[in-house]
Amino acid sequence: MSVSILVVDDEPDVAEMFRQRFRREARQGTYVLHFAGSGEEALDKLENGVRPELIVILSDINMPGMDGLTLLREIKARRPDLPVMMVTAYGDDDRRRQAEEAGAIQFLSKPVDFDMLKAELRRLPGIS
């Protein structure tokens, strides 16, 4: 059974990196990756529905327009059950605290350790 991951980042190379690092899982049908270049686009995708079932959102914190922390709060207001992991190149304690207080389940630093990320994803409900 496939499940969806929504990656939110304003840098186009991030989408390509995720496609490369999740190539095997995508081919096997484990994950379907969806991408949004802004917080607003992510909320549109969430509102319109992501198929197959969306199990997690990975969001950058620093983005133009709606930043990742604001997006996190909006997601939690709409879908409090949906796990959100925050990703940033600037992993200061204040942002980490804000993300945790807003409901993030994980705080990842760039460059992303994809082996660790995949292990975290396997722990989520809905992954077989």
CATH number of 79's domain: 3.40.50.2300
Burial class (CB in 10 A: 0-12, 13-18, 19+), 116: exposed
In a domain, 103, yes or no: yes
* Mean pLDDT value of segment 45-57: 92
Question: Which backbone phi and psi does 67 adopt, to 5 degrees?
Answer: -80, 170
Mean pLDDT is lowest, of 2-6, 18-22, 30-34, 92-96, for: 92-96
Please state, in angstroms and rounded to a whole number, the distance separating the CA atoms of residues 55 and 96. 22
| Rounded distance between C-alpha atoms, residue 48 and residue 84, angstroms | 18
In this structure, is residue 125 part of a structural domain? no
pLDDT over 80 (residue 29): yes
Does any domain span residue 117? no
Within-domain flag for 115: no
Domain count, the chain: 1
CB-CB neighbours of 81 under 10 Å: 6
Residue 53 maps to a domain: yes
pLDDT beyond 80 at 128? no
43: domain range? 3-110
The pLDDT > 90 percentage for the chain reads 80
Where b means 16+ CB within 10 Å and e means fewer, 22-54 reads beebbeeebbbbbbbbbbebbbebbeeebeeeb
Over 60: is that where the pLDDT of 35 sits?
Answer: yes
Q: For the residues 60-84, what does the mean pLDDT come to?
A: 96
**Assigned domain for 62 exists:** yes
Is 25 part of a structural domain of the chain?
Answer: yes
Answer yes or no: is 83 within a domain. Answer: yes
Is residue 95 within 8 A of residue 61, CB to CB? The reply is yes
